[in-house]
Structure 1
């Protein structure tokens, strides 16, 4: 049976979490009193008990919550789920927003546990309907898949145009969530971000905000459509390249 094996929270990010018997999922935030809650796309984290058991078999002294996951599941193939998949637990609903994660540095969890399975087998979600959850609750996968979107921009552009871009994306595409991926100072992580979004996350719509018109070379692996100059395709993802907010979806 697909169940909640453990519920864990912490007051700081990057630390082992403490187990609790029950908690409240807050819509568009995450678990009550957890440091990872907020209005972003990684509000709640999941890891399978089966993954923890595998690490224990390797000799690591780890238990549920040690990898900073909020909800430890049992009986579910988490890595087999698709981004946009719905999960229900009692009256609560969560939509899967990310598979795994890119770790740029060794975190405290890695140093404490000797390894970190979260980047490989952890998943994340957004809370679309809140309520009470408890250890032992059944987790249902109804098979519903919602549309997803990602916004790529620099931190400065996010601060200046982010709210307006999100509003327009929501109006035009109505995704279940909009994730934000921030470019570094010299945009060196753009290729890595695009690869993750198109090959691992398989996000439906990717918006690359390019006010300076300097990101074109990063799209060499994309297919440019013949009739819409700002539209590109790769795998199941559609990329919208725009230099201004008004340009976003203006020709779609």
Structure 2
């Protein structure tokens, strides 16, 4: 089963930018390409690995499986934030893959994203933005984590996934969405 891309029927989901960093830092520099490694994440990225690599999660339990191997964020969020006066661009909020034409936050858990010729990423959940975002630009956290009209927490900082199939990912690569068998489970923070 395949989901349509966000927007008009002619719009297709594509990779806008790819980013990685071998050192712990909030932002990740854009790259000409990245390589995804099955069960590990982005080759050479500080967050790649079978077990958790995010510092807060390592502190709690370093043996946890790494459900945050790849961070994806939609460029439509960047556009919205820029319209509100924030200075954000691809990779600056820590994502590995910046997409366009795909409602990443609307995907269910277990969705498989076929990216480029070979890579496959399975969506595990939502990124849970932390206070470091306000260190990047004051007030940004409140734009990425808020509450809906019913008081429920809404997280807009992108999604996380694990790599199911190796592959190189480049800007301009198409993204094909394969939904899991229903019923679908909404994304939860991982």
TM-score between both structures, scaled by the size of structure 2:
0.71
- Whether 2:157 is the aligned partner of 1:121: answer yes
Partner Cα separation in structure 1 for residue 189 and residue 128 of structure 2: 14
**Residue 31 (structure 1) aligns with:** 42
CA RMSD of aligned residues (A): 2.5
Q: CA-to-partner distance for each residue in 1:48-80, whole Å, 9 max, x for gaps? A: 000011111111111101100000000000110
Match in the other structure for 1:110: 134
Larger Rg: 1
1:66 matched to 2:92: yes
Q: State the aligned residue count.
A: 150
Change (3 A) 1:34 1:79: same
- Counterpart CA distance in 2 for 1:140 and 1:95 is 12
- The alpha-carbon distance between structure 1 residues 144 and 71, as it changes in their structure 2 partners (threshold 3 A), is same
Instruction: Name the structure 2 match of 1:3.
Output: 14
Partner of 2:150 in structure 1? none
Provide Cα deviations, 1:106-141, integer angstroms capped at 9, x if missing partner. 11x321223143852310000010111111000000
2:173 aligned to which of 137, 140, 153:
137
Look up the SS of the partner of 2:109 in the other structure.
coil
Using structure 1 for the length normalisation, give the TM-score.
0.55
Point out where structure 1 has 5 or more consecutive residues left out of the alignment: 147-197, 204-252
Query: Residue 101 of structure 1: which of 125, 128, 131 is its match?
Result: 128
Which protein is richer in helix relative to its size? 1
For 1:207, the equivalent position in structure 2 comes to: none
Q: Return the alpha-carbon distance in structure 2 between the equivalents of residues 128 and 199 of structure 1.
A: 20
How far apart, CA to CA, are the structure 1 residues paired with 2:173 and 2:32? 11
- 3-state SS of the aligned residue for 2:177? coil
Q: Is it true that 1:15 corresponds to 2:26 in the alignment?
A: yes
